[in-house]
Amino acid sequence: MLRSDPEKLIRKVMARFVDEEVIPVAREIDEKGEFPFDLFKKIADMGVLGIRYPKKVGGSGGNTTLYCIAMEELARGLLSLAAVTAMQCLMATNGLYLYGTKEMHEEYLRPALRGEKIGAFQLTEPEAGSDLSAVRTLATKASDGYVINGMKTWSTSGPYGDFHTVLCQTDPDKKLRGLMFFFIPTDTPGFSHSKKFETLGTRTSALSEIYFNNCHVPPEYMLGELGRGLDVLLTILAEIRIMTAALALGLHRAAMDDSIKYCKERVQFGKPIGKYQLIQAKIANMAVNLEAGRLMVDKVTHQIDNKISCLNEASMGKYFTVESACSATDEAMRIFGAYGYSMEYNVQRYYRDNRFLLYGGGTHEVLQTTIARQYLR
Ligand SMILES: Cc1cc2nc3c(=O)[nH]c(=O)nc-3n(C[C@H](O)[C@H](O)[C@H](O)COP(=O)(O)OP(=O)(O)OC[C@H]3O[C@@H](n4cnc5c(N)ncnc54)[C@H](O)[C@@H]3O)c2cc1C
């Protein structure tokens, strides 16, 4: 496959950073369950957070292909660090970039791309998961802006985010057409959050509920044109899905790399276990799925960069790569035998972390439904 120089360069730079600075500390970070702000700042200093934004707003002038390569490499090191980075590059900042004023760019976007402020993106509520029409957080028009009341759950970076892009209902009678995103800085009076959730995997990306109690925001904090609120999401939905696929490729590679190493070292019945055909079949399946997933991600990222509509391909890419990563991490656990179950090796983390990929950007049941719909119309 032909690769541009920037694509080769970003992979090389990120791979070196991950090998030297992330992998050596990943297990300790995961055990502590604390977000590594120092590593996040280093990622920012490398220009990664602004990778898909133009230089005029403080970005690095890259594109979605470069973004996804960087996220794949980071996920190979530590999925939760990659997940927060991916959120900061895309969902947490894209509405601010597209619809924010110059002042909002100066106060929030530029510092966010420098890693000095952390953003979050809020759709989910206790009664509104896959079904966004059930969103109840209410934005009520006031004489000088909007007043927000309600709550969100599963807020990645909720406990330490500096600003939130929040889906609110402006007119319950209008259902989906009443939904609008609002920009809400954490220091807005009336904003609060719960304590951090305990989770199975991706333990360093802190999750919480967040609450809005009469949060007053100025009119320019409504992102986009009234009645077209979901554009903030729809313009990046394919990119969210293929970014999640890139994260899956990184996790898949980590599981496969560790498995290959272990297969060569672990001797049973007088031979390294990699000499047994049933173990070889596992490695072969990991390799084939990885290659197929890479082709899907590569195709979609180039489609996005060339402004070719590709939501269905992105959904297929997310579905395939995440299922493949789940299978690869499961097979890695089997290859490691009892040691896979031990906290001494990293494969247990890959196995726990893989579940995270199943939800964001659409659950797999929802994705299967939307993919099938393309063929059954
Ligand atoms: C680690 C983590 C981080 C997250 N971070 C964020 C975040 O930062 N911001 C945010 O907004 N949200 C976040 N989420 C929430 C995530 O986006 C939701 O979990 C997701 O939208 C699914 O909603 P739900 O979990 O309520 O599942 P539900 O929608 O209640 O689904 C439950 C089950 O029913 C199935 N189902 C639902 N509808 C259908 C249908 N029509 N057809 C067939 N099956 C269906 C689902 O596939 C699933 O199996 C996070 C979740 C996790 C686990």
CA of 252 from ligand 1 middle (Å) equals 22
DSSP 57-111: GT-----HHHHHHHHHHHHHH-HHHHHHHHHHHTHHHHHHHHH--HHHIIIIIHH
- Digit-coded pLDDT (tens) for 177-201: 999 999 999 999 999 999 999 999 9
Ligand 1 atom at minimal distance to the Cα of residue 156: 8
Write phi, then psi, for 286 (nearest 5 degrees).
-60, -45
Distance between CA atoms of 58 and 113, rounded to whole angstroms? 7
Q: What is the mean pLDDT of each run of 10 residues along the chain (377 residues)?
A: 85 98 96 94 97 97 97 98 97 97 98 97 97 97 96 96 97 95 98 95 94 98 93 94 98 98 98 98 98 98 96 98 98 98 96 96 96 93
CA of 256 from ligand 1 middle (Å) equals 28
Residues with CB under 6 A from ligand 1: 121-124, 129-130, 154-156, 202, 207, 356, 359-360, 363, 365-366, 369
Distance between CA atoms of 316 and 300, rounded to whole angstroms? 10
For each of the domains in the chain, give its residue range(s) and CATH number, in order of start: 5-113 (1.10.540.10), 119-229 (2.40.110.10), 233-375 (1.20.140.10)
- Digit-coded pLDDT (tens) for 147-176: 999 999 999 999 999 999 999 999 999 999
> To test ligand 1's pocket by mutation, which of 359, 369, 371 has the most ligand atoms within 8 angstroms of CB?
359
Distance between CA atoms of 109 and 162, rounded to whole angstroms? 11
* 142 CB-near residues (< 8 Å, 6+ apart): 216
Q: What is the DSSP letter of 24?
A: H
CA of 94 from ligand 1 middle (Å) equals 21
